């Protein structure tokens, strides 16, 4: 595959920075300065083996996969960024089209939005608007009178955060897909909360986008603000995130569980926020205790040794022969916000490999390779 990307902050002899940030088929030596609040740093000074980092990114850029961007961030600075064109499609698209990506291009984040909803819930909790996580989810739905049974009232906010509500739910597999019903249901929260109970709440992880939809609805009810308004004023504006979209369902309501579109560099801001325990540029945006609770491994997922916290995936990565904990926001297509707290490292990827498990595995392997280039 022809290389067409921006590779930033890697010392490649004989090359010079050139082009503008809207043109992806170019090569620069440093992350492009676009006035979005990011500063840049040299990889070697930031503790990387610059040559190995360069090799890992160049290898990824040459592979025949729809990898669209990679952002490497450490200690609050951009270290490297890579962009290249590739096939992509939106949540309503039937076919993929080739698109050019760059520092200012919005990208679908798919289920990364679930982790963003978690951050918003943390803000609401810190403002005293959410209440105890042991509260029944149905406390927020007094109008659902037929659901107010002891069995269903045992399902708490924490169960929804950990995808352990116990609902019968099928998502992403062959046959019936409950997630897609969320696109058109007139009262989707009722649809989710009325599903048959298949397990005792809190005992089994079942991937469920419906739970995130309910959490976002509860957020709006608790704060009195629509999801997009609350996200804009309480999270995005404080982080300097000015260009974003939240795709709506067939009734125009933002799909919290899949519709968020961000620039990769802004995804990295969310990773940095998590690494700094909810602080951005000296201001506490999300309570530190909420961040810590969100990243606490809670339930086995059954996927490659990962566990689940509050809408964040967790696991371990090898560094210098020892395992280090990581946390990540994962989205279908290999969208990732991947943080390694012990290394103060964030890696963001976007791609168009929707439904392709093998490409997602390759991107996750790239994350391991990037971690391996950290020397100190």
Same domain as 159, residue 63: no
Q: What is the pLDDT of residues 179-225, one digit of tens each?
A: 999 999 999 999 999 999 999 999 999 999 999 999 999 999 999 99
Inter-CA distances, 335 with 218, 245, 263, 332, Å: 26, 16, 11, 6
- Residue range 65-89: mean pLDDT, rounded: 95
Residue 366 CA to residue 243 CA, distance in Å, equals: 28
Q: Examine the fold and report which residue of 282, 311, 340 is the final residue of a domain before the chain moves on.
A: 311
Same domain as 175, residue 158: yes
Give the per-residue pLDDT at 93. Answer: 93
Residue 81 CA to residue 345 CA, distance in Å, equals: 14
Same domain as 19, residue 4: yes
Same domain as 169, residue 298: yes
Residue 188 CA to residue 183 CA, distance in Å, equals: 8
Give the per-residue pLDDT at 305. Answer: 93
Check whether 292 has a pLDDT greater than 60. Answer: yes
* Chain center to CA of 42: 26
Same domain as 199, residue 73: no
Q: Examine the fold and report which residue of 279, 295, 311 is the final residue of a domain before the chain moves on.
A: 311
Mean pLDDT (the chain, rounded): 92
Same domain as 289, residue 151: yes
Give the per-residue pLDDT at 245. Answer: 98
Q: Which two tokens stand for residue 176?
A: 């019936």
Same domain as 193, residue 73: no
Same domain as 146, residue 44: no
| Total of domains in the chain | 2
Same domain as 137, residue 285: yes
Give the per-residue pLDDT at 353. Answer: 92
Q: Which two tokens stand for residue 346?
A: 């964030």
Same domain as 297, residue 180: yes
Same domain as 182, residue 284: yes
Give the per-residue pLDDT at 175. Answer: 59
Q: What is the pLDDT of residues 262-289, one digit of tens each?
A: 999 999 999 999 999 999 999 999 999 9
Domain with 101 in it: 1-105+313-376
The answer to whether residues 214 and 183 touch, using CB atoms and an 8 Å cutoff, is no
Q: Examine the fold and report which residue of 270, 291, 311 is the final residue of a domain before the chain moves on.
A: 311
Residue 217, domain CATH: 3.40.710.10
Residue 253 CA to residue 355 CA, distance in Å, equals: 24
pTM of the model: 0.93
Extended beta strands in the chain, E state: 39-40, 67-74, 77-83, 86-88, 97-99, 107-108, 245-246, 260-262, 279-280, 283-284, 299-300, 307-308, 313-319, 322-331, 335-340, 345-351
- Residue range 230-234: mean pLDDT, rounded: 99
Check whether 173 has a pLDDT greater than 80. Answer: no
Same domain as 80, residue 119: no
């Amino acid at each position: 595959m022809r290389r067409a990307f921006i590779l930033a902050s890697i010392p490649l002899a004989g090359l010079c920075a050139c082009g503008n940030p809207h043109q992806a088929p170019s090569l620069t030596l440093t992350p492009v300065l676009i006035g979005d609040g990011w500063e840049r740093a040299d990889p070697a000074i930031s503790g990387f083996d610059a040559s190995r980092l360069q090799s890992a990114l160049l290898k990824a850029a040459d592979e025949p996969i729809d990898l669209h961007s990679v952002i490497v961030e450490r200690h609050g600075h951009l270290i490297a960024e890579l962009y290249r064109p590739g096939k992509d499609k939106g949540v309503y698209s039937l076919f993929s089209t080739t698109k050019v990506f760059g520092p200012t291009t919005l990208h679908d984040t798919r289920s990364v939005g679930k982790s963003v909803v978690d951050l918003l819930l943390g803000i609401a909790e810190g403002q005293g608007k959410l209440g105890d996580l042991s509260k029944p989810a149905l406390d927020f739905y007094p109008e659902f009178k037929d659901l107010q049974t002891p069995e269903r009232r045992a399902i708490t906010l924490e169960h929804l955060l950990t995808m352990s509500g116990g609902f019968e739910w099928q998502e992403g597999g062959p046959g019936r897909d409950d997630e897609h019903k969320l696109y058109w249901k007139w009262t989707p929260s009722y649809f989710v909360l009325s599903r048959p109970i298949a397990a005792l709440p809190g005992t089994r992880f079942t991937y469920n986008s419906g739970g995130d939809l309910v959490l976002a609805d509860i957020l709006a009810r608790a704060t009195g603000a629509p999801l997009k308004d609350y996200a804009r004023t309480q999270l995005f504006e404080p982080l300097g995130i000015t260009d974003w979209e939240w795709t709506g369902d067939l009734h125009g309501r933002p799909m919290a569980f899949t519709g968020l579109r961000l620039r990769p560099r802004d995804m990295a801001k969310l990773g940095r926020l998590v690494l700094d325990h909810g602080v951005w540029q000296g201001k506490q945006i999300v309570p530190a205790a909420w961040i810590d609770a969100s990243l606490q491994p809670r339930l086995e997922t059954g996927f490659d040794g990962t566990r689940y916290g509050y809408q964040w995936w967790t696991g371990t990565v090898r560094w210098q022969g020892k395992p280090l904990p990581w946390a990540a926001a994962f989205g279908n297509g290999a969208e990732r916000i991947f943080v390694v707290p012990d290394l103060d490292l964030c890696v963001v990827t976007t791609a168009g490999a929707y439904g392709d498990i093998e490409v997602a595995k390759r991107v996750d392997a790239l994350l391991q390779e990037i971690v391996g280039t950290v020397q100190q």
